[in-house]
């Protein structure tokens, strides 16, 4: 494993961070927001031990996304989308610590190049970019159709210089049907990216972006995915962790991702924070109780 442990400032260290930031020569005479102080010490969480797949579980405000952002900041992971920070965040992240694991021969590992944090905003930005790209291509295609007709049926191109050569070559190919309109439009406008439903496109994002031998922090990757697609994502992450040398740190409350094989789950709703099995968590038990209530409908 690349990341073995991560430590958070204890209560005394948090107080020192706040005191230093309140000093006049720090540039801050006051602090509007002490975030992320006083989140984890109240839950007796000072050190996290990692498995190949580690999951932070909890409701909104439990601190699971904050933990991912602290890990990403401390490790210098690549990130696309910005995140909500505060005056104390950078100082707090600097006070955190981490240790990497070792290889089979006992040599220390390092965080691989290309490791990154991926949030739901990254996925939504990807879907928006694909849609925008397709819309631009559609507009260009309309112009391309007119251009193809001009080349094929318009006046003969006269070769005055080498600059006219490409236009003449295209006209000859078009009239000989060696250059179809489809081929011309693909070259002229580009190729549209296949766009599925939001959930399927989100899954395709992870299929494309996840690389072998890399550390990833994933913040609620199940957003916009149907249960079926969440199961497919679970299987993809399990495969990448088991066979492709990846390590995942995930913030989620999806029962499907929580059930990933071998995952170490930190229940951030508990105080103190404890490691639990996925079937012990409140979220999954609510699902179980609901479907168990209507078990007779499934057994008919």
Residue 184 has a pLDDT of: 46
Give the confidence band of 196 by pLDDT, cuts at 50, 70, 90.
low
**Number of neighbouring beta carbons within 10 Å of residue 18:** 17
Looking only at the bridges linking them, the beta strands covering 53-57 and 3-7 are unpaired
Residue 232 Cα distances to 57, 235, 246, angstroms? 20, 5, 17
Of 81, 94, 51, which Cα lies nearest the Cα of 215?
51
Q: What percent of the chain has pLDDT over 90?
A: 51
Structure tokens at 160: 């005055």
Q: Which residues pair with 210 in a beta bridge?
A: none
Confidence of residue 135 (pLDDT cuts 50, 70, 90): low
- Using CA atoms, how far apart are residues 113 and 288, in angstroms rounded to an integer? 41
Window from 56-60, 77-81, 180-184, 269-273 with minimum mean pLDDT: 180-184
Of the two residues 141 and 228, the one the predictor is more confident about is 228
How would residue 18 be classed by pLDDT, with cut points 50, 70 and 90?
Answer: confident
Q: Most confidently modeled of 118-127, 136-145, 244-253?
A: 244-253
Q: Distance between CA 292 and CA 290 in Å, rounded?
A: 5
Work out the average pLDDT over 66-90.
Answer: 88
Nearest partner of 181 among 141, 121, 219, 222, judged by Cα: 141
Query: What pLDDT, on the 0 to 100 scale, is given for residue 31?
Result: 60
150, two tokens: 């001009």
pLDDT band at 73 (very low <50, low <70, confident <90, very high): very high
| Range(s) within the chain of domains with CATH label 3.40.50 | 3-114+211-299
How far is it, in rounded angstroms, from Cα 32 to Cα 22?
11
Average pLDDT over residues 22-41: 68
Q: What pLDDT, on the 0 to 100 scale, is given for residue 234?
A: 97
The pair of three-digit structure tokens given for residue 300, joined into one six-digit string:
């008919």
Which H or E run contains 2? none
Q: Residue 287 is encoded by which pair of tokens?
A: 């699902």
Which CATH architecture fits 3-114+211-299? 3-Layer(aba) Sandwich (3.40)
For residue 80, name the pLDDT band (cuts at 50, 70, 90).
confident
First to last CA, the chain: 47
* CB-based contact 29:275 (threshold 8 Å): no
> Does residue 158 sit in helix, strand or coil?
coil
Highest mean pLDDT, choosing among 14-23, 78-87, 185-194, 245-254: 245-254
What rounded mean pLDDT belongs to the chain? 81
Read off the tokens for 187. 């070259």
For residue 116, give both structure tokens: 């990154």
User: pLDDT higher for 167 or 294?
Assistant: 294
Q: What's the pLDDT tens digit per position in 138-194?
A: 545 455 455 545 545 555 544 455 554 455 455 445 445 544 545 544 554 445 455
pLDDT of residue 158: 46
Average the pLDDT over 69-93 and give the result: 87
Lowest mean pLDDT among 75-84, 85-94, 152-161: 152-161
């Amino acid at each position: 494993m690349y990341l073995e442990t991560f430590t958070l400032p204890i209560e005394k260290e948090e107080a020192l961070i706040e005191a230093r930031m309140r000093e006049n020569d720090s540039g801050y005479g006051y602090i509007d927001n002490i975030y992320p102080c006083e989140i984890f010490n109240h839950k007796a969480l000072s050190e996290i031990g990692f498995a190949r797949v580690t999951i932070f579980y909890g409701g909104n405000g439990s601190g699971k996304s904050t933990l991912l952002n602290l890990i990403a900041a401390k490790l210098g992971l690549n990130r696309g989308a910005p995140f909500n920070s505060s005056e104390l965040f950078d100082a707090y992240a600097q006070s955190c610590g981490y240790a990497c694991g070792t290889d089979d021969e006992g040599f220390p590992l390092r965080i691989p190049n290309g490791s990154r944090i991926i949030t739901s905003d990254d996925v939504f930005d990807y879907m928006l970019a694909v849609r925008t790209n397709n819309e631009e291509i559609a507009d260009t295609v309309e112009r391309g159709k007119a251009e193809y007709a001009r080349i094929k049926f318009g006046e003969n191109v006269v070769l005055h210089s080498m600059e006219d050569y490409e236009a003449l070559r295209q006209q000859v190919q078009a009239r000989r049907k060696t250059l179809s309109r489809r081929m011309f439009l693909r070259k002229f406008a580009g190729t549209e990216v296949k766009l599925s439903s939001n959930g399927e496109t989100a899954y395709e994002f992870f299929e494309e972006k996840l690389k072998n031998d890399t550390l990833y922090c994933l913040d609620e990757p199940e957003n916009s995915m149907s249960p079926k697609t969440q199961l497919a994502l679970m299987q993809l992450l399990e495969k990448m962790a088991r066979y492709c040398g990846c390590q995942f740190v995930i913030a989620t409350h999806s029962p499907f991702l929580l059930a990933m094989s071998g995952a170490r789950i930190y229940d951030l709703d508990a105080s103190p924070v404890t490691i639990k099995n996925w079937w012990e968590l409140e979220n999954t038990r609510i699902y179980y109780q609901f479907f168990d209530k209507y078990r007779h409908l499934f057994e008919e």
